[in-house]
Amino acid sequence: MPIRVNALSKHFRLFKREAGLSGAFRSFFNRKYEDFHALREISLDIEDGEILGILGENGAGKTTLIKLLVGLLHPSSGQVDINSFTPWNRKTAFLKQISVVMGQKNQLWWDIPASESFLLNQKIYEIEKTEYDRRLKELVELLAVEKKLNVQVRRLSLGERMKMEIIAALLHNPKIVLLDEPTIGLDVVSQSKIREFVKYYNQQYGTTFLITSHYMHDIEALCKRVFVIHAGKSLYDGNFKELINRVNPRRKLQFEFSEIPNSGMLDSLGNEFEFELKDTFLRAELPDSDLTRLVTQLFKLSSPASITLEDLPVEDTMRSFFANPEQFLQ
């Protein structure tokens, strides 16, 4: 089910509230509205089996985009075509092919065991009994929640609850799954369990995943490709690594000398590159091209006792990106 999004725009009429009690009183009789452009001319193609990360700050338009893709909203203009379905017509055949998991809302019924809600989904999605049993068994084993199936949802930990939500969303074998902040509030172990699962499931079934997350680790681990929205506009569509490189192309080098070279040679290197020297260690944060040249020079000076090369933390990079996104994408 390839997804084709063409020049999609959405604006809302927002009720403009005045502050204070007298403002509330005035608004009671005379409401003022203003237009808010949540999405402007978004175009996007997603192929089968992709895992696409949708990035953007709070209020950038991520949720609006997702709601449009699953047909919860009508656009102001533009088209979405998902395997020749238009989402907001909400045809039964279309709804059976998609699924949404929201980290901050639950579809499972709070007071009863998850297994009861699964059973209900079997009826709603008309999943054949044998198929249902098979899939349930498989998903439950993959996520290791066999023992929790018959426990009331309210007694589950947050991580277990999220796993149950994911099972409920996948039982009908959807072709497209939208994960909206699936790891929010989870501990590090649960986060990585869910990431591993999504990765495995995607490879096994070729299901398309669209993910929004504030944890860059989620995106880094899962998505080759990301789509960045900023103030309702499409800002970047492409490889995640490349984006990181563009924002902060530098990497961290640590070069350990087997013997300290004479300081004159190092000084002349110091004119050309920026680095820091401590005992037998040389540390530098430079773009790749500079790093290659630096390492070549260093090899000429001395043989290394050890070399390590690492990326800068993704979270930091993305934070500086969102602080001023346009600057990096000129």
Chain residues that interact with other proteins, rule: CB under 8 A:
12-13, 15, 17, 20-21, 24-25, 27-28, 36, 38, 63-64, 67, 70-74, 76, 88, 90, 92-93, 95-96, 98-100, 105, 107, 109, 111-112, 116-117, 119-120, 123-126, 152
Please spell the DSSP secondary structure of 295-312, one letter per residue: HHHHHHH--EEEEEEEEP
- Measured from the CB atom, the residue of 109 and 322 that comes closer to other proteins is 109
Min CB(230)–other proteins separation in Å: 17
Tokens coding 318: 């993305």
Min CB(12)–other proteins separation in Å: 5
- Compute the distance between CA of residue 268 and CA of residue 139 in angstroms, rounded to an integer: 61
Min CB(198)–other proteins separation in Å: 19
Which residues, other chains included, contact 286 with Cβ-Cβ below 8 Å and sequence gap of 6+? Answer: 250, 251, 253, 273, 274, 275, 294
- Measured from the CB atom, the residue of 63 and 317 that comes closer to other proteins is 63
- Measured from the CB atom, the residue of 71 and 257 that comes closer to other proteins is 71
- Compute the distance between CA of residue 254 and CA of residue 284 in angstroms, rounded to an integer: 7
- Measured from the CB atom, the residue of 164 and 253 that comes closer to other proteins is 164
End-to-end distance of the chain based on CA atoms, in angstroms?
A: 33
Cβ–Cβ under 8 Å, residues 243 and 228: yes
- Measured from the CB atom, the residue of 158 and 260 that comes closer to other proteins is 158
Cβ–Cβ under 8 Å, residues 68 and 80: yes
Min CB(74)–other proteins separation in Å: 5
Min CB(182)–other proteins separation in Å: 16
- Rg of the chain taking only CA atoms, in angstroms: 25
- Compute the distance between CA of residue 31 and CA of residue 42 in angstroms, rounded to an integer: 31
Min CB(207)–other proteins separation in Å: 17
- Measured from the CB atom, the residue of 64 and 183 that comes closer to other proteins is 64
